Amino acid sequence: MKQLIVAIDGPSGAGKGTVSGAVARSLGYRHIDTGAMFRAVAWKASHDGVALDDDTAVAALATRADLVVEGGVVRIDGHDVTRAIRTAEMDRMVPTVARQPGLRAVLVDRQRAMGRDGGVVMEGRDIGSVVFPDADVKVYLDASEAERARRRLGDQAYAAQGAEQAAVAQAIAARDQADRTRATAPLTLAPGAVYIDTTALGIEQVVAQVIALVKAKL
């Protein structure tokens, strides 16, 4: 059976991580969270004292980094940053590195190498538009801003930090603006992508819709 490339894009809190993971498990595919790659690089740059807006330095760091994103675990240069990258502070830091063309080029190359043989569910913000514009299945998940903030607060990592909904909603709105207006690979509905508003849907309903799209391609 053909091993497909499934691209799932959308803004923060739309359900990409949960849905992508469930779809990958159902299909027996690998799940790759590309957002975690940017977060890990931002964390490492901050840890090493590299200016987040220095594209050349951050891209060089990403080029030489031993970066692993698999099985729900994120490691960079031996550091397990799985929980460290899921904070409100990181939400504010990531847009600075995510808009840099040099870093994006480095990570896009890595993402294409990871997914080119298929059998992968890759989530992010530019998978269907830039990384794999010819992906077999392209989905764009969305939800209202209020619902996305509520979901983010339900994340154990954020709850443990005592995050407040107003602050989380503000961070999400800022990230949305940064992602949609950046010059390089802005967040957008890719040509051919199926738009799913998840605001009033349960995870199982969204997963079922995506699985149906995949089965239609097999």
DSSP 120: E
Higher pLDDT, 158 or 190: 190
Residue 9 in any domain: the answer is: yes
Residue 217 in any domain: the answer is: no
Stated as kind and residue range, the H or E segment containing 137 is: strand 137-142
Taking the C-alpha atoms of residue 211 and residue 67, their distance in angstroms, rounded to an integer, is 29
* pLDDT tens per residue, range 84-93: 998 878 888 9
Question: Which residue's structure tokens are 């538009």?
Answer: 129
What's the pLDDT band for 184 if we cut at 50, 70, 90? confident
Residue 213 in any domain: the answer is: no
* pLDDT tens per residue, range 193-213: 999 999 999 999 999 999 999
* pLDDT tens per residue, range 14-49: 999 999 999 999 999 999 999 999 999 999 999 999
Residue 179 in any domain: the answer is: yes
Please name the amino acid found at residue 215: K
Residue 218 in any domain: the answer is: no
Residue 38 in any domain: the answer is: yes
CATH number, domain of 125, equals 3.40.50.300
Question: Which residue's structure tokens are 């977060």?
Answer: 39
Q: Which of 46, 75, 74 is nearest to 61 (CA)?
A: 46
Q: Note down the domain range covering 149.
A: 5-207
DSSP 183: S
Total domain count, the chain: 1
H helices present in 49-139, as ranges: 55-64, 88-98, 101-115
Residue 216 in any domain: the answer is: no
Do strands 5-9 and 194-197 pair parallel, antiparallel, or not at all (unpaired)?
Answer: unpaired
HSE, CB side, 13 Å, CA atoms: give it for residue 104. 21
